[in-house]
Structure 1
Amino acid sequence: MPAHAPRPLALLPSVEQLLASAHVVSLPMRVKFRGITRREALLLDGPLGWGEFCPFPEYDDAEASRWLAAAVEAGWQGFPSPVRSVIPVNATVPAVAADRVPEVLARFGRVDAVKVKVAERGQTLDDDAARVAAVRSALPDAAVRVDANGGWDVPAAVEALTRLSAVGLEYAEQPVPDIGGLAEVRRRLREAGTPVLIAADESVRKESDPLRVARAGAADLLVVKVAPLGGVRRALDIVAQAGLPAVVSSALDTSVGIRAGLALAAALPELPYACGLGTVSLFESDVTLDPLVADDGVIRVRDVAADAGLLERYAAPADRRAWWLDRLSRVHAVLASPAR
């Protein structure tokens, strides 16, 4: 089986079963995130629970197949046994102006860690520095981490992280897009004595070989997301093989997707960092009446079910529903292919 292939395919329901269980929603965001103001998701009502299939529109069918494998695991296989029931989570601050930071943080309540988006297209390092400084001013004792989503090149990353490290950074997530660049940034920071750890996100979930980043010595820790990696069990296997600490994060999921992230965080042997699973607070509404949001800096592991009224209220327009159902059918064919 290729390194990128989701598993186990023996559990794959028929496409007819998936289409019959599908609900497509379009949820409004409180703030723009990843350039969008509405998040679309396809939810699957499986016999063992709800699953979420919401790869971003630009992902091709092969990459999206991992997301479908994760949704099938949630709804038709269930999750591994947990070793903890309470998961610490960080707040997430999008690439907003510095004066909006207190407003964003207020939605998360008390938190001990904050992830700040940086390297946004069209913004400058001064914008990033002001945003990070505003977070530090609001939360003097919190762990602050930044996420560039691969938006810098090596020289820009070294310059930016050297400057941003003045406020005290826990780590920097994916400062540059490629594994070789990560290794170079990490080397330069260490040689300069700049105390910033490097975390790999896209270099794990978008690689055909997600372990290459560990072999290259390109990161101090991994950011793992259930859906892009093909499910909780596959993510656990990747973390075990990599031998690096892990942070569990979300992919802008509804509470259904966050439930899978909590299952991963709950099953990891060790959980040294707060997880990026508090992103439901970025939505105006959710698909469940009891959303999985942080309370006093943690989320307690529990099951969730989509609410029929909310599914109806936030149902995607007919053309978007048709687009998602067609995508589901195509991606199912990828998973079902004997070539995998």
Structure 2
Amino acid sequence: MKPLATLDEILDTLQVVTLPLATRFRGVEHREAALFEGPEGWAEFSPFLEYDDAEAATWLAAAIDFAFSPQPAPHRTEIGVNATLPAVPADRVAEILARYDGCRTVKVKVAERGQTLDDDVARVAAAREAMGSAGRVRIDANMGWNVDEAERALHALAEFDIEYAEQPCATVEELAEIRRRVRDWGIPIAADESVRKAADPLAVARAEAADVLIVKAQPLGGVRRALDIVERAGLPAVVSSAIDTSVGLAQGAHLAACLPGLDHDCGLGTAALLTADVTSDPFLPRSGSIAVRRVDPDLAGAHAASAERRTWWAERIRACFSVMSA
């Protein structure tokens, strides 16, 4: 990957922010992100802190591409989005869904470490009740089950009319097996980590291990690379986020807008999980949709991370830039 910008061009406009989450997510209560500006506008670099430089370098390539290179022409100007429901107790479901104006779809996190299948069933039941019979309920296990656990869980959840089950198991082989076992139940299988964290993101399609691909702009190296993966896989795609700031969500929205077909609501309403954002006009769902647009982080200064954290992110960018340039 030959970088489209120099390291100095990236670091010259670098801003690092820390944003509070409305609900604990992935074990954290704040989301950190690095932002920088290029001739096309602002971009976000926010791989999770535990990712190594090799994996995070792909996220940096995506950010550089979005800031320094013209993007493909979009097919649509608005994207339907889903609500995202963390692994909260069932009695908090309605409170959290109220943050998502007009969303017709909810993605429910399940298989949370330290919780039980009964917790998942109660949460999904509450989500179905809140969405009504016309709403769509999808679940995301984040690789949390083995095949037998997934079969048992999906059998218990099938009564709630599940739109699809996202990454119920860890490996492509396991996804293929659980897809075979639940085929008659009408629960499609979606692949996320088996695409964005895979050395070969097309393996899941070749193995017929999924019905839907979950694609994210940053982890896949940008809009163009993600579009190429979807085209070559030949499967329907749903664009999702990694709890990005609104700057990062702008890139996700552009990816969704560039897909030739878009049959599902996308996971790009996650600004609703933040209690503060980098812009005075955040990507909050309105009537179940977000607009396709660029974002000016006019409030980034108000949420600036400490000098120590800014230095940490600058060093991380240098390390990932070195990986890209090697």
Please give the TM-score of this superposition, normalised by the length of structure 1: 0.94
Aligned partners of 2:146 and 2:174 also within 8 Å: yes
User: Quick one: which amino acid aligns to residue 264 of structure 2?
Assistant: Y
Query: 1:113 aligns to what?
Result: 105
Assess if the C-alpha contact under 8 Å between 2:78 and 2:292 holds in 1.
yes
Letter in 2 for 1:149: N
Q: Using the alignment, how far apart are the partners of 2:325 and 2:43 within structure 1? A: 18
Q: 1:261 aligns with which of 248, 252, 266?
A: 252
Q: Any idea what SS the aligned residue of 1:227 has?
A: coil
Contact 1:89 1:113 in 2 (8 A): yes
**Deviation per residue, 1:206-255 (Å, 9 max, x gap):** 11110000000100010000000000000000000000000000011001
Alignment of 1:1-340 (within 5 A): 7=1, 9=2, 11-140=3-132, 141-190=134-183, 193-307=184-298, 310-337=299-326
**Aligned mates of 1:168, 1:152 — CA distance in 2:** 20
CA contact (8 A) 2:4 2:69 kept: no
Which residue pairs with 1:4 in the alignment? none
Per-residue CA shift, 1:14-40, capped at 9, x if unaligned? Answer: 111111111000000000111110000
Distance in 2 (alpha carbons) for counterparts of 1:111 and 1:39: 23
Give, as a single letter, the amino acid of the residue that structure 2 aligns with 1:104: I
Counterparts of 2:261 and 2:76 in 1: how far apart (Å)? 10
Task: List runs of 5+ in structure 1 lacking aligned partners.
Answer: 1-6
| One-letter amino acid matched to 1:171 | Y
1: CA distance, partners of 2:201 / 2:13: 31
CA shift at 1:317, angstroms?
A: 1.2
Provide the rounded CA distance (Å) in 1 between the counterparts of 2:225 and 2:242.
16
Which aligned runs of 4 or more in structure 1 are off by greater than 3 angstroms? none
Which segment is superposed worse, 295-304 or 170-179? Answer: 295-304
Q: CA RMSD in A?
A: 0.8
Paired residue type of 2:278: V
Equivalent residue, structure 2, for 1:3: none
Give the total of aligned pairs: 325
Task: Tell me the secondary structure at the aligned position of residue 107 of structure 2.
Answer: strand
Instruction: Give me the whole-angstrom Cα distance separating, in 2, the residues matched to 1:12 and 1:65.
Output: 13
Question: What secondary structure, in the 3-state scheme, does the structure 2 residue paired with 1:284 have?
Answer: coil
Deviation at 1:293, TM superposition (A): 1.3
> Identity rate of aligned residues, in percent?
56
Partners in 2 of 1:306 and 1:85 — Cα distance? 21
Contact 1:49 1:78 in 2 (8 A): no
Deviation at 1:78, TM superposition (A): 2.9
AA matched with 2:51:
Y
Residues of 1 paired with 2:317 and 2:120: CA distance? 38
SS at match of 1:207: coil
